[in-house]
Amino acid sequence: MINEKIKTLRKQNNLTQEEMADKLNVSRQAITKWESGLGTPDISNMEAISKLFNISLDELISDTKAIKDNVSRVEYDIFNKSLFEIDLGFIKEFDLSLSDTDKVLIEIKSDLDIEAYKLIKVRLKTDKKDLSCIKFEACKDMISNQDSLNHIYVRMTLPCAMLNELELNGNLKSFIIHDFNERKHIEFDGKVEEAHISNMNGHLELTSGVNMDVYYDSSLDKLDLNGWNSVINLYLKNNAYIINDGRKTKLILNGYENNKSDKVIELNGYKAELTLK
């Protein structure tokens, strides 16, 4: 709620209600009403609050709640069908799926004894009608401590009707992507040590610069595994046709009957080795 957000921002910036009122050129009673939910700032005051705390208006009005189990939840309304670009930064686990709502739903959890919203923040930018950018950033006092972000777990649900294509990048321990029941084109580029792919449609390009374990149920039309001087261990649940189309890349199929199929896995990259488990 907006009242909780204003109160949290004021306290995080070590301001009293009176000090905040002076900076905004409003009465202390106005701040009290906003924080108690008895009143809501008009758009000019919302813009002034955003400027005071150096956040976007989207961040101020997004529905963010922090609760005692170190979980924060964020919701964003999406009004146009978009290419989504998601910059994850350094995160331990990212769980991604689609939904029938028109909202982006994000749940962030920390396994540290610190509230998640104090470790990481989310920014949404929609400066073009056909582009939505979501960025995860370390909070100001955590920038020098990237190890803390290795304790962050993110679950995100994207609105199916508002998604054209999806591009992701980041440094992850684990990437879980599931329940894309419509055909979508998805690209991930970065580093991921473990990927779980299930109940998907369309085409996924998964590029990683480190050794990777991939657990896959063969649901996609096409899965591209792009490795660079790395080893990919593929745990394949159902049949798919595996193609080697990289440079100095190698397939180790361990007796797997590699028959033609409408489900295709393609190894790309340079000096990558794919071993079927």
Question: What average pLDDT does this structure show over 177-184?
Answer: 93
Work out the pLDDT band at 69, boundaries 50, 70, 90.
Answer: low
Query: Given a cut of 90, is residue 42 above it in pLDDT?
Result: no
Q: Which two tokens stand for residue 26?
A: 């409003």
CA torsion through residues 136, 137, 138, 141, sign: negative
- pLDDT one-digit tens code per residue, 181-192: 899 999 999 999
Name the fold adopted by 1-61. 434 Repressor (Amino-terminal Domain) (1.10.260)
Alpha helix segments (H runs only) across 56-151: 57-61, 116-119, 146-149
Phi, psi angle pair for 114, to nearest 5°: -140, 135
**Gap between the Cα atoms of 260 and 167, Å rounded:** 29
Q: Which helix (H) or strand (E) holds 94?
A: strand 82-99
- R_g of the chain computed on alpha carbons: 22
**Gap between the Cα atoms of 122 and 133, Å rounded:** 10
Burial 91-106 (b: 16+ CB within 10 A, else e): bbbbbbbbeebebbbb
> Which residue would you say has higher pLDDT here, 100 or 39?
100
**Gap between the Cα atoms of 116 and 190, Å rounded:** 23
**Gap between the Cα atoms of 92 and 77, Å rounded:** 26
Question: What average pLDDT does this structure show over 126-138?
Answer: 81
pLDDT attached to residue 129: 67
Q: Which two tokens stand for residue 152?
A: 């962050």
Question: What average pLDDT does this structure show over 243-247?
Answer: 96
- The distance from CA 240 to its chain's CA centroid, rounded to whole angstroms, is 28
Query: Could you state, in order of their start, the residue ranges of all structural domains in the chain?
Result: 1-61, 69-276
**Gap between the Cα atoms of 205 and 175, Å rounded:** 13
How far from 266 is each of 98, 234, 249, 263, CA to CA, in Å? 24, 12, 11, 10
How far from 277 is each of 24, 52, 217, 230, 246, CA to CA, in Å? 62, 55, 13, 16, 20
Closest to 264 measured CA to CA, from 227, 231, 226, 220: 220
pLDDT attached to residue 64: 47
Q: Is 83 exposed, middle or buried (0-12, 13-18, 19+ CB in 10 A)?
A: middle
pLDDT attached to residue 148: 59
- Termini Cα distance of the chain: 48
**Gap between the Cα atoms of 241 and 261, Å rounded:** 5
pTM (predicted TM-score): 0.73
**Least confident interval from 58-67, 83-92, 116-125, 127-136:** 58-67
Question: What average pLDDT does this structure show over 22-39?
Answer: 85
Query: Given a cut of 70, is residue 45 above it in pLDDT?
Result: yes
Q: What percent of the chain has pLDDT over 70?
A: 91
